Each structure stands twice: as structure tokens, then as C-alpha cells.
Amino acid sequence: MPKITFIDTEGSRRDVDAPLGLSILEIAHRNDIDLEGACEGSLACSTCHVIVEPEWYDLLSDASEDEEDMLDLAFGLTKTSRLGCQIIMSDELDGLTVRLPTGTRNMMGG
């Protein structure tokens, strides 16, 4: 089974199973990783913002215009920021490493 590594805001690394076809957001929720996802993957918020480690970023498919628009609202945006709901696990991404940002901005009435 492919793996994904989450690095939390304290710098702790956690390797978890990453079933093919699930999004980073879904994988985080299955493993009690603190990744919010207020809109449940409908591209209506930026709370599942993750920072992809640079060596993995180029393997991802390009962000859609809708994703780019939501990322513009994300707190602590970086060059390798993506929304966790838009990255779907595949064999090529086995070992993917993502960091959780130090904060999120929930525009959904939070």
C-alpha cells in the first residue's frame, strides 16, 4: 500500500497508509490528522491547504483555476501550496510528503 508522510506544525513526521484513489484530505481524516476541510472537498474553502515538499510538487497534476482561486485565500501560502482535497493518491505519489500550514482561514462562517 502506498504511504504518505504528514509533517505537522511542530515538525513531527507521521507516515500513514494512503489508499489509491483517496484524496490527501480523506487520508488525513482517516488517520486523525488535523486537516480541516470545512467544505468537504467541494472547492469552496481553503482549510485543507497543505504545503507539498518541493521534490514532490512537480509530480502533481496542475491546479485547476478554481483551486488556484481558493488557494489565493489560504493562510501562509507558499509556491508549493495545494488543496488536500484536490490531490488524489496514485502509485507515482507513494511516499508523498506534505506539511500542514501553521494556520488556516475558514471563510465558511467559522
Q: Is the pTM of this model over 0.85?
A: yes
Q: What angle do CA 83, 88, 43 make, to 5 degrees?
A: 35
Length of the chain: 110
Q: Is the dihedral of CA 20, 21, 23, 27 positive or negative?
A: negative
Confidence (pLDDT) at 102: 84
- Mean pLDDT, residues 14-32 taken together: 98
Lowest mean pLDDT among 17-21, 34-38, 72-76, 102-106: 102-106
- pLDDT tens by residue, 31-88: 999 999 999 999 999 999 999 999 999 999 999 999 999 999 998 899 999 999 999 9
Class of domain 3-99: alpha beta
Per-domain residue ranges of the chain: 3-99
CA angle 78, 12, 15 (to 5 degrees): 95
